[in-house]
Structure 1
Amino acid sequence: MYGFYRVASSVPKVQIANTDKNIQEIIKIFEQETKNESSIVLFPELCITGYTVGDLFLNQNLLESQYQALDKLLVKSKGISTIAIVGIVVSFEHRLYNCAAVIQDGSILGIVPKSYLPNKNEFYEKRYFQSGLRIKAKTLKLLNQEVPFGVDLLFTDENNVTFGIELCEDLWSILPPSNQMAINGANMIFNLSASNELVGKSSYRQELVKTQSARLVCAYIYSSCGVGESSSDTIFGGDALICEYGSTLAKSERFTLENQTIRADIDLEKIIWLRNHESYFGDSIPSEVRIIKVKSTQNISKLDRYIDKHPFVPSNEKMKKEVCEEITNIQAHGLIKRLTHINSQKVVIGISGGLDSTLALLATYKAFEILKLDVKGIIAVTMPGFGTTSRTKSNAIKLCEALGVTIKEIPISEISLKEFEALGHDKEIHDVTYENVQARARTSILMNLANKEGAIVIGTGDLSEIALGWCTFNGDHMSMYSLNSGIPKTLISYLVEYFTYKQEIKEVLIDILNTPISPELLPPNSDKISQETESIIGPYELHDFFLYHFIRYGAKPSKILFLANTAFEEYSKDEIKKWLDIFIKRFFTQQFKRNAMPDGVKVGTISLSPRADWRMPSDASFEEWLNY
């Protein structure tokens, strides 16, 4: 289903050295995860015997009972495509190895030995096991099967799934085996672990797994032993994690007495596209590996994954201050560099009483504060025209007065009427000429005023408008430095809301946030905005969603539609498709504006600057993107 692949990480109840009881729990979980449509279910390190059996690892009876237990799992897996990855002890060439066995449809597809054995403090694995670091191109016979054995194994199916396996300490080592697995094509890593609990260790462990998934651009699935292990000298909490490219999709509750399983739907299409986008993967040197073919696993009938409606907006409210400060610092310091380079202490900015110009003004104000410049050097210009309402004009003036910047009012109605007359355009015809004459009049005023004052014009247009081309070419499309060009509309709302902590501007900011988004180029109805942008081109929250997945992950329109239908219950499927079609058409046809856009600082992971992140010919066809 659109590249999603369901995996599970389980922490079963364990009775130390009771292989029969342990395999019963493992089989129970395996059968349940088959019903849950999981393609792969991961179990902890040495889960059949228990990790903490100590010197019993050296007892022949335990190993034989483990193999008998493993055989029961093989029998139960017959005819089932779900893969189980379990921890076992293997005897190979008269040495014991701590291993992971990959099982599907009654067969052991491969066995991977642990590379790095902890042998300090509470861990003393070298007492029992040998490192498998140098074992490659080997096979061993187990339960009447000839099984590939070694650290050179990768497992793959016909649906772009390729996974590798490492065990516990392997991840903590200076050179984790998963690094090379990713270079060789693994897009999922499974880690069978026995990581004990110490104060602060859980958060470090989670950060380690998250970071590895980000560094390798992969999914990282982790399962650690639970409280059924021996508590003689240490305790195991049963930490299970599923991470994807630096994000935690699922996390277990530690210290539970019952079986616990987490699952998540991994977006492999996204991971593969990100890999294609990262040049360092092509620069890395692959090693010799053995590819083990696995049978294609079951498809997901219904996606079980949270899809964020507002992917540009931080979801962690606790970090709101930090995130907003960082974004406005990026904006402010971009402007500071430009002002110091040209030795200017003045800017001109058009103020409409809308979200974009409000944020640009606040970021400019911050830059002046950092430089300790007189804020009177910020020349804020309100330019009322045919569509201006008293509400937006009043809010613009209130905000400027509260900040103490210079305010100028230059009406554009008479200027526009004279241009209509020169063009022979009927002022009663409210078409694109009627609107764009006003937009270009405003920009001309700002540019000329900047020349007069020895200032630069601050652009206020945002990333969403740039994506849709919702601006007038050589009108509001143009400036001398564009402060909002890296910030989408949904994030601008979030940032403006943040600044309501300033009591002197709180009231006016709240009203600006509650004002319908509009270019105010058409006459109002009884002093109310008649031209609401979102009723014309569609909701910005949808367009920002489309933009994020289209640019960030190169998603196909059919997948974007699927994700949007999953995320937005408040819109019908027909509505979403209608606005997605509009997004695609506008995004392609408006590239000529982006190819001529002014300088502006990049803020997030997406930019549409032709000098940085996005290069596309202005005459590229959109037809192939509408065939979905």
Structure 2
Amino acid sequence: MKYGFIKVASAIPNVKVGDVKYNTDQIENLIVQAEGKGVEIIVFPELCITGYSCQDLFRQQMLLDAAENSVLVLLDFTRKLDIISIVGLPIVVGDLLINAAVVIQQGKILGVVPKTYLPNYSEFYEKRWFASSQDMKEQNIRFAGHNILLTPNPQIFKTAEGANFGVEVCEDVWAPTPPSNRLAIAGAELIFNLSASDELIGKHNYLKELISQQSARTMTGYVYSSCGFGESTQDVVYGGNALIYENGKCISASERFSMESQMQIAQIDIEKLRSERRSNSTYVNAQRNIKYSILNNQFDIRYIQCNAAEQIRDFVLDREVDPHPFIPKSNDMETSCEEILNIQAMGLVKRIVHTHSKTVVLGISGGLDSTLALIVCVKAFDKLQLSRKGIVGVTMPGFGTTDRTYNNALHLMETLGVTVREISIAKSVTQHFEDIGHDINNHDVTYENGQARERTQILMDVANQMNGMVIGTGDLSELALGWATYNGDHMSMYGVNASIPKTLIKYLVKYAAQSLGGRASDILLDIIDTPISPELIPADENGHIKQKTEDLVGPYELHDFFIYYFLRFGFRPAKIFLLAKKAFVDGKEGAVKKDVSGAELGGTYDEETIKKWLKTFIRRFFTQQFKRSCLPDGPKVGSVSLSPRGDWRMPSDAAYTIWMEEAENL
């Protein structure tokens, strides 16, 4: 396990019912393939050594002896292998026969986990042959040359590199209180399920939902293997399911109804799971009962140490990394966009109702942020059945305003039917510079911020005139980078875009263009294609935007990527850099990326470029916290927010030394 990733596999061997030698050979073939691909833990289906559908053959001593002998064969086969293998077979325990999972590594049995919940309905009559773990007493047994403590209590296996995993068998996860609940609360980060689930109409989707919910509820990586081709089709068919989930998200799935052996491999991010657990108070509180039970000996958790790997492999990140983690991934993208816009709009609706305002005021620049804020205001006023004329859009041309943004701002407001006001800031800012003795030809930070603060003053005073409120347009990306003028565009009375990153804003505006159609669509599409700029520096000789934000602070798609993993999971620079290389560099040279809206997001980035802007992000994120410490109210939309009242509380004078040192040494 490196960078917090552990490579796991779910395998489905072809089987022959009752042919233990054939089945063992198939299992060995898959183990050696997985070992060669760097898999650390592999799980096989329930009763895979004998076949699940043996029925009354489970009463044959010859079959039971053959199953035990097959474990001896597997132990010998794995003697020099670091991979941990989890296989299913029947095991005799005194007068009982249990349906068990055996955990094997380097020629040793690490533990045996008995099945707890036995189905006894329809085509499954397991109670006819097997006893539940609840019927057992804790005892030592002799099996496959090993003395094994067999216990009905939860068992957690600890890999040499610190990952914790537990095992449950098939029906266990369908129970009202699955064993994986207790395993997860007691520290298991991975759950492996050996299963034998038949195929019925609609059952597959239900199964996926069940596993997804269990993985999400327990905040685990859930690795599921269910038997496939070769099981008896006397009454039912087994389609074969190899499924791997990470905190509710499916990251690998097999093809059903295959006649070939299958294996799904994925890297699960243990570090991400641990971060989620630490930040989730509900999960933390759920551990109280487990601790209480242990102290009072109501049940014991058995921790089993796995062996250390004899060979250290070079780490390669195999999993795909989404370059745009903030953009929703959904089969119904219209629904996702509507949900986001409704959250923003309803936040504003409540604020309007509470303040008894009939007017909102916002600056319209012809850029992405103010465009989205205007769309949200229109949606809120429509919900309140108020006239859109109560939305006062103010365009405030200054020294850097170009014809393109100016015309787009005016035309958009006219098309949407809001009140349009134009107030030039040139005269007032020129007077201000004279008052403070600043050379108007010196285009420094005073020159830029003077314009931004004048615009905010105008908006605030117009709002006072009209008994309204100023709607902020700044977004999450700008807040993270501190790309806002303190007490300028940094300030408002309600910031509707406060938790929307720049990449998502572009997507939402594209969606609005598709929804509105007509002239509004043309304007919005041109706004999307306009370079992002505060337009505080005069245009070039051709009247084009000279001051381009992404040339100064870096590409927003990179910064949004950094923001997501830094804030959402607390990843260190080295891991963010690893993920960014996978998302933006590996195997993508010369490619032109587009987001799901179809908007081009530029080409790839080399490692030096990623490193450069990652260092910029770290420096700006730490040094600009003072702006975030006094943010206006605004609605949280996604999983990341910088509100100082809830999601992000940080001292404004915190040092970034250790983060920058690691970034410098990448």
- TM-score category of the 2 structures, normalised to the smaller one: over 0.9
Q: Deviations over 1:476-503 (max 9, x none)?
A: 0000000000100011111011111211
Aligned pairs (5 A) from 1:54-203? 54-133=55-134, 135=136, 137-151=138-152, 152-203=154-205
Aligned pairs (5 A) from 1:428-443? 428-443=441-456
Q: Separation in 2 of the partners of 1:321 and 1:133?
A: 49
Tell me the residue number matched to 1:541: 557
Tell me the residue number matched to 1:597: 631
Q: Separation in 1 of the partners of 2:156 and 2:139?
A: 14
Deviates more, 1:162-171 or 1:284-293: 284-293
SS at match of 1:627: helix
Aligned AA (2:580): A
Provide the aligned C-alpha RMSD in A: 1.0
Q: Deviations over 1:55-95 (max 9, x none)?
A: 00001111111112221111100021101100010110211
**Which residue, out of 318, 321, 329, partners 1:307?**
321
Q: Deviations over 1:314-360 (max 9, x none)?
A: 233x3210110000000000000000001111100100010000000
Q: Deviations over 1:606-628 (max 9, x none)?
A: 11000011000110011111121
Residues 480 and 494 from structure 1, CA distance in 2 versus in 1: closer, same or farther, beyond 3 angstroms? same
Contact 2:502–2:560 (Cα < 8 Å) also in 1: yes
Q: Separation in 1 of the partners of 2:139 and 2:657?
A: 52
TM-score by length of 1: 0.99
**Which residue, out of 497, 520, 529, partners 1:484?**
497
SS at match of 1:52: helix
Aligned AA (2:93): F
Tell me the residue number matched to 2:431: 418
Aligned AA (1:598): P
Tell me the residue number matched to 2:390: 377
TM-score by length of 2: 0.93
Q: Separation in 2 of the partners of 1:223 and 1:300?
A: 27
Tell me the residue number matched to 2:50: 49
Q: Separation in 2 of the partners of 1:445 and 1:337?
A: 25
Q: Separation in 2 of the partners of 1:135 and 1:299?
A: 41
Residues 171 and 221 from structure 1, CA distance in 2 versus in 1: closer, same or farther, beyond 3 angstroms? same
Q: Deviations over 1:572-592 (max 9, x none)?
A: 111111101110111011111
**Gaps in structure 1 of 5+ consecutive residues:** none
Contact 1:463–1:485 (Cα < 8 Å) also in 2: yes
Q: Deviations over 1:440-495 (max 9, x none)?
A: 00000000000000110000000000011000000000000000001000111110
Contact 1:482–1:598 (Cα < 8 Å) also in 2: yes
1:133 Cα deviation (Å)? Answer: 2.8
1:203 Cα deviation (Å)? Answer: 1.0
1:293 partnered with 2:309: no
1:227 Cα deviation (Å)? Answer: 2.3
Tell me the residue number matched to 1:512: 527
1:136 Cα deviation (Å)? Answer: 6.3
1:352 partnered with 2:368: no
Residues 582 and 107 from structure 1, CA distance in 2 versus in 1: closer, same or farther, beyond 3 angstroms? same
Aligned AA (1:568): F
Tell me the residue number matched to 2:270: 268
Q: Separation in 2 of the partners of 1:134 and 1:271?
A: 34
Q: Separation in 2 of the partners of 1:427 and 1:487?
A: 35
Q: Separation in 2 of the partners of 1:452 and 1:478?
A: 18
Q: Deviations over 1:13-45 (max 9, x none)?
A: 010100000000000000110001000111000
Tell me the residue number matched to 2:210: 208
1:302 Cα deviation (Å)? Answer: 1.2
1:246 partnered with 2:241: no
Q: Separation in 1 of the partners of 2:246 and 2:135?
A: 29
Q: Separation in 1 of the partners of 2:496 and 2:137?
A: 55
1:147 Cα deviation (Å)? Answer: 1.6
Q: Separation in 1 of the partners of 2:399 and 2:232?
A: 78
Residues 432 and 136 from structure 1, CA distance in 2 versus in 1: closer, same or farther, beyond 3 angstroms? farther
Q: Deviations over 1:95-116 (max 9, x none)?
A: 1000000000111110000000
Q: Separation in 2 of the partners of 1:232 and 1:439?
A: 76
Deviates more, 1:277-286 or 1:440-449: 277-286
Contact 1:5–1:300 (Cα < 8 Å) also in 2: no
Contact 2:378–2:388 (Cα < 8 Å) also in 1: yes
1:529 Cα deviation (Å)? Answer: 0.2
Q: Separation in 1 of the partners of 2:162 and 2:565?
A: 20
Contact 2:392–2:420 (Cα < 8 Å) also in 1: yes
1:274 Cα deviation (Å)? Answer: 1.5
Aligned AA (1:625): W
Contact 1:379–1:408 (Cα < 8 Å) also in 2: yes
* % identical aligned pairs: 51
1:553 Cα deviation (Å)? Answer: 0.4
Aligned AA (2:432): E
Q: Separation in 2 of the partners of 1:361 and 1:594?
A: 23
Contact 1:77–1:106 (Cα < 8 Å) also in 2: yes
Q: Separation in 2 of the partners of 1:117 and 1:145?
A: 26
1:300 Cα deviation (Å)? Answer: 5.5
**Which residue, out of 332, 340, 343, partners 2:353?**
340
Aligned AA (2:231): E
1:137 Cα deviation (Å)? Answer: 4.3
Q: Separation in 2 of the partners of 1:546 and 1:54?
A: 55
Tell me the residue number matched to 2:583: 567
**Gaps in structure 2 of 5+ consecutive residues:** 295-299, 586-603
Q: Separation in 2 of the partners of 1:154 and 1:299?
A: 25
Name the count of aligned residue pairs. Answer: 627
Contact 1:17–1:50 (Cα < 8 Å) also in 2: yes
Deviates more, 1:126-135 or 1:29-38: 126-135
Aligned AA (1:164): G
Tell me the residue number matched to 1:234: 236
Aligned AA (2:623): T
1:579 partnered with 2:579: no
Deviates more, 1:393-402 or 1:283-292: 283-292
1:408 partnered with 2:424: no
Q: Separation in 2 of the partners of 1:128 and 1:487?
A: 57
Aligned AA (1:296): A
**Which residue, out of 333, 340, 349, partners 1:327?**
340
Aligned AA (1:511): D
